[in-house]
Chain A
Amino acid sequence: MDIQDYISSGIIENHVLGLTSPAEDAELTRMSEQYPEIRQALREAEEALVSYGVLHSKTPPASVKGKILQALADDGQIHPEDENQTSSRPSKNVFMRAVAIAASVLFLATVGFHLIRTADFRRQISQLKQEKADLIAQNEIFMAQIQETRQELKVIGDPAFTTVVLNGVAGYDNSRALVYWNAASHAVYLKPIDLPALPQNKQYQLWGIVGGQPVNAGIYDPPVGDQALLQMVSIENAEMFAITVEPTGGSDQPTLDQMVVAGKL
């Protein structure tokens, strides 16, 4: 049977109005247990009708409450001792004890429930904190990378910088580096590309050749991964740049047989 057809058949509305047969009622009960949509439609129909009933609300005469409580007491259902009643209260203590026990049980159950919930929330909070810290760290890395890239773009895009391609010498045919040199400000930036890794006790050193003499332009460690632009020591009147492999800490004079790449302006 199609659920929507069943819902729109009118059986639900007729049922809450008491207009259905016992067979139809039984069927609806079965259907509502089986299908949440039908249960939902049934609840809504009930709510609507109850709301309509409530519109007719009318305060009952004040005497009725006492009469009902008295009738219940006579019926043995309750003890006539509540504070809202004016009659004698012989078993107040018994009643209050029952209330206290019920309240305690309820309270303990609630406390237990909340303890479990709280532990759960704590776990969730610490997990979220960790995730937040990770995101912040990641964000810092991205920011730093953007900063570097921006710096690099600034140098590359600046017409005052001359690009010098340093090609690999014999034995380092695949190595290459780029130097950006500013003739006016003398600033030197290095972009190492495909330089081989070095042993622990060695470092790369950049030299500027000025008037035929090598001038130290700074040392740096072999690149790891995609290395950013490195700012090196400023050089005046450079004619050429070269990179040699030197002992860690650098040398005063280049070890010429350790030259890796070189390039003229």
Chain B
Amino acid sequence: MHAKPSYTEAQLIELLKLKNQRAYNYLYDNYSAAIYGVICKVVGDEDEAADVMQEAFIRIWRNIEQYNADKGRLFTWMLNVARNLAIDYIRSAQSRKSSKTESLTESTPLGAPGYTDAIKIDHVGLNAVLDKLTVEQKKIIDMAYFQGYTQEEIAEELDMPLGTVKTRARAALMKLKHLFV
């Protein structure tokens, strides 16, 4: 067996663009948990999430040429590719069956059951962050980030004016920024 390599983000991007499989393995080993976590959060079902993740990795692999380091970090880009794919997935699934409102309430329980096997440290971190966010702030972030809601949809869902959604979304994100950056 080879020793586990450790790449800088720039090296990793170079190798990925060369379609280097070891870099791809590295990518999977280091980022799949985060990507899977986000997809699960969007999709709700773990088996479906695994399928969506497969799609996401293929898309990342195919579109790596389109990634532009000037526009942000690789990880941010990958997470967005995966998240958008997952959101598209539930949206098309929803339009096939029930109304969106129903599945939203099902798939965004505040206590996030079904995530019990996430590694413990993340639980600690998540709980600490959730304690700092108001229920409404968390709801706005989750609706926007995990469900791909538009401003109008959030306004309707939470029964508040558009302007309020905008200012509350900002406040919620400022809180996150304060907690993380």
Residues of chain A at the chain B interface (Cβ within 8 Å): 10, 13-14, 16-19, 42-61, 64-65, 67-69, 71-72, 75, 77-79, 81-84, 95, 98-99, 102, 106
- Evaluate whether A44 and B144 lie within 8 angstroms (CB atoms) in the complex, with A53-B83, A60-B50, A77-B61 already known: no
A33: shortest Cβ distance to chain B, in Å? 8
Besides A14-B166, A17-B173, A18-B145, 9 other CB < 8 A contacts?
A19-B154, A46-B72, A47-B177, A48-B177, A51-B181, A56-B34, A57-B36, A72-B61, A102-B18
Chain B residues 11 to 31 lying within 8 A of chain A, measured CB to CB, are 11, 14-15, 18-22, 24-25, 28
CB of B37 within 8 A of CB of A46, answer: no
A-B contact list, 29 entries, CB within 8 Å: A10-B167, A13-B170, A13-B172, A13-B174, A17-B169, A19-B154, A19-B169, A42-B72, A47-B177, A47-B180, A48-B181, A49-B176, A53-B83, A54-B37, A55-B126, A55-B129, A56-B38, A56-B122, A57-B37, A58-B40, A58-B118, A59-B119, A60-B32, A60-B36, A64-B32, A71-B58, A77-B61, A79-B21, A81-B21
CB of A14 within 8 A of CB of B115, answer: no
Choose one: A14, A67, A71; the contact of B170 (CB below 8 Å): A14
How many chain B residues have a CB neighbour from A under 8 Å? 67
Asked if B125 CB lies within 8 Å of chain A CBs, one says: yes
Chain B residues 74 to 104 lying within 8 A of chain A, measured CB to CB, are 75-76, 79, 83
B153: shortest Cβ distance to chain A, in Å? 10
Choose one: B34, B50, B166, B177; the contact of A54 (CB below 8 Å): B34
CB of A52 within 8 A of CB of B76, answer: no
Q: Given the complex, which residues of A lie within 8 Å of B25, measured CB to CB?
A: 82, 84
Q: Given the complex, which residues of A lie within 8 Å of B176, measured CB to CB?
A: 48-49, 51-52
Name the residue among B28, B54, B150 with the largest chain A CB count within 10 angstroms: B54
CB of B145 within 8 A of CB of A60, answer: no
Whole-angstrom CA separation of A48 from B72 in the bound complex: 13
Whole-angstrom CA separation of A19 from B73 in the bound complex: 20
Q: Given the complex, which residues of A lie within 8 Å of B32, measured CB to CB?
A: 59-60, 64-65
CB of A48 within 8 A of CB of B173, answer: yes
Q: Given the complex, which residues of B lie within 8 Å of A48, measured CB to CB?
A: 173, 176-177, 179-181
Whole-angstrom CA separation of A43 from B176 in the bound complex: 13
CB of B141 within 8 A of CB of A52, answer: yes
